[in-house]
Amino acid sequence: MTTPSEPGHPRLDPSLSAVVSERRQLTNLAYRLLGSLSDAEDVVQETYARWYAMSRQQQEAIESPGAWLTTVASRVCLDLLGSARARRERYVGEWIPEPLPDRTEWITGRPGGSTADPADPADRVTLDESISMAFLVVLESMTPAERVAFVLHDVFRYSFAEVAEIVGRTPAACRQLASSARRRIRASRASPAPAARRADVIRDFRQAWETKDVGALIGLLAPDVTMISDGGGLAGAALHPIEGGEQIVRYALAIAGMAPDLTLLERTVNGQPGLVAQRNGVTVSVMAFEIADDRITRIWTVRNPDKLRPWTAGPQDIP
C-alpha cells in the first residue's frame, strides 16, 4: 500500500522526507537484531504503520522522528526475539541467519554522528563485520536484551542512556548487558586473515570440490572444522552439524555426485568471500565461511529457498 509520504506519491510532504530516509537505517538495524531480512522488512513496515497511524499533530510533536522510529523498531525486534526461541525449536534442522549478497553501498554509521560511550578500540565493531555470518551466529547465542543493547551501543553507537530508554532498563543494566555480549564476541573471534587470502582459500576450495580432489579439500579444512546446513524442511540438508574434515569432504563429494550439473560461483556472502551453488541458473545454496590460519574452520550452508530470496529477486534494500 502506498502512503502519502512514499517516493513518487504526488502528495509527498517534504517535511516527512527525513522519516522516509530512515528506512535503510531501520532495515540495517533490524536485520542485525533478527538475522532475517524478511523479518527486518516486516519490522520496518510495522514501524512505519505506527508512525502513519498518528495524527499530523502527534507527528509534529515528536522532536526527533528518526530517534522515535529507531526506538519503535528496536522494541518490535525485542518482542520478536523473545518469541524467536520457541519458533526455532519448531524449525526443521539447524537455523542459520539469512545470507545476504554483496552490495556496493554500505551505510557509514549512525546518522548525525554518535554519542555512544567511548569504548576500547579492540571492542569496536565495524558495520561490515557486524553483518558477517560468523558475527550473526554469535548474536544468536545472546539473550534478546544482550543482543539489542550490544547492537545499539557497539555497532550503531547509541549511548547507554539512549539504549536504556529504548529497552526500558537502567543505563547501568544496559552496560552490563553489552559487556556480557562483548565477552561472547571476544571468545568467538578468530584471527582475521587478509581479505585477499580469504578469497584465495575459497577459490582453492571451489576448484578442489569441482575436481573432486580429496587431498586438497582436506588440506583446506581445519581438523576441527564444522559444517552446518539449513534447509528448513523445504530443501535437503543435514539435520545436524557435520564435524571433521573427512566427514565434510565425503558429504561434499556426495552432493557433487548427486548433482553433477551444479555450478559453483565465487560470490560475496555477508561481506565475506563465499560460494553460491546454482542449477540451471537458479540459486539453490549459499555458503558462508570462517577462515583462520589459511584453513576453513566453519561452513554455513543455507538451502532453505525462503532464505534465498535476495539471491534470486531483483535489487533489494539490503543492509
For residue range 270-307, what is the model confidence (pLDDT) as tens digits? 999 999 999 988 999 999 999 998 999 999 999 999 99
Alpha carbons 147 and 151: distance in angstroms, whole number: 6
Q: In the block, which residue shows the cell 509534529?
A: 60
Sequence ranges of the chain with CATH classification 3.10.450.50: 195-312
**Would you give the DSSP letter of residue 21?**
H
pLDDT at 319: 52
The pLDDT score that the predictor gives to residue 259 is 81
Where on the phi/psi map is residue 101: left (φ > 0), alpha (ψ -120 to 50), or beta? beta
The whole-angstrom separation of Cα 73 and Cα 63 is 17
Cβ neighbours of 53 (radius 10 Å): 8
**Per the structure block, which three cell numbers stand in for 263?**
555450478
- Tens-digit pLDDT profile for residues 214-267: 999 999 999 999 999 999 998 888 899 999 999 999 999 998 888 888 999 999
pLDDT of amino acid 316: 46
Query: What residues are paired with 266 via a beta bridge?
Result: 275
Quickly count helices (H) and strands (E) in the chain: 13, 6
All cell numbers assigned to 267: 560470490
- Can you tell me the mean pLDDT for 172-179? 96
Is the Cβ–Cβ distance between 5 and 297 less than 8 Å?
A: no
HEC secondary structure over 153-172: HHHCCCCHHHHHHHHCCCHH
Cα(113)–Cα(147) distance, rounded to whole angstroms?
22
When the pLDDT of each residue in the chain is averaged and rounded to a whole number, the result is 85
Give the C-alpha separation, 8 to 37, whole Å: 24
CA 71/CA 77 separation, integer angstroms: 10
pLDDT of residue 6: 43
Average pLDDT over residues 116-125: 48
pLDDT of residue 307: 94
* Cβ contact 111:157 at 8 Å: no
The mean-pLDDT minimum among 22-26, 122-126, 166-170, 235-239 falls in 122-126
Q: Is the pLDDT of residue 1 over 70?
A: no
CATH class of the 195-312 domain in this structure: alpha beta
Pick the closest to residue 255 from 231, 222, 274 (CA basis): 231
State the pLDDT at residue 170. 96
Q: Is the pLDDT of residue 179 over 50?
A: yes
Asked whether the predicted pLDDT for residue 97 surpasses 80, the reply is yes
Q: Band the pLDDT of 313: cuts 50, 70, 90.
A: low
CB within 8 Å of 143: residues ≥ 6 apart: 177
> Average pLDDT in the 44-65 region?
93
For residue 124, pLDDT beyond 70 = no
Evaluate if residue 108 carries a pLDDT over 90.
no
Q: CA-to-CA distance for 58 and 195, rounded, in angstroms?
A: 48
Among 238, 237, 226, which Cα is nearest to 290's? 226
- 53-57 contacts, C-beta under 8 A, 24 or more apart: none
**CA-angle at 231, arms to 230 and 236, nearest 5°:** 125
- CA 132 to chain CA centroid, nearest Å: 6
Task: Give the three cell numbers for residue 289.
Answer: 565461511
Kindly report, residue by residue over 180-195, the tens digit of the pLDDT.
999 998 888 766 677 8
Query: Whole-angstrom Cα distance, residue 235 to residue 252?
Result: 16
Closest CA to 294 of 198, 214, 164, 218: 198
pLDDT at residue 105 greater than cutoff 50: no
